[in-house]
């Protein structure tokens, strides 16, 4: 895509999502001046980070 700064390679991925969830993501993305795609990617990264932290805490308790 012309004009896009260099960065990590991206892979297209079709996503089926409930309209209500998409509306919340759209609203949040607009408020943070992001695309819906960028907002979904951020939410996924945050969830993975949170899950990794929770897994680490659970591993320490064992």
Q: Delimit the domains of the chain by residue range.
A: 19-61
Mean pLDDT by 10 residues, the chain (62 residues): 68 95 98 96 93 81 74
State residue 4's pLDDT score: 64
State residue 61's pLDDT score: 78
Crossing angle of helices 19-31 and 36-61, in 10° steps, is 100
State residue 1's pLDDT score: 45
Other C-beta atoms within 10 Å of 40: how many? Answer: 18
């Amino acid at each position: 895509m012309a004009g896009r700064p260099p960065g990590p390679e991206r892979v297209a991925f079709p996503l089926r999502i409930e309209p209500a969830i998409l509306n919340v993501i759209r609203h949040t993305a607009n408020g943070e001046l992001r695309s819906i795609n960028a907002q979904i990617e951020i939410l996924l990264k945050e969830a993975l980070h949170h899950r990794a932290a929770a897994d680490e805490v659970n591993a320490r308790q064992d």
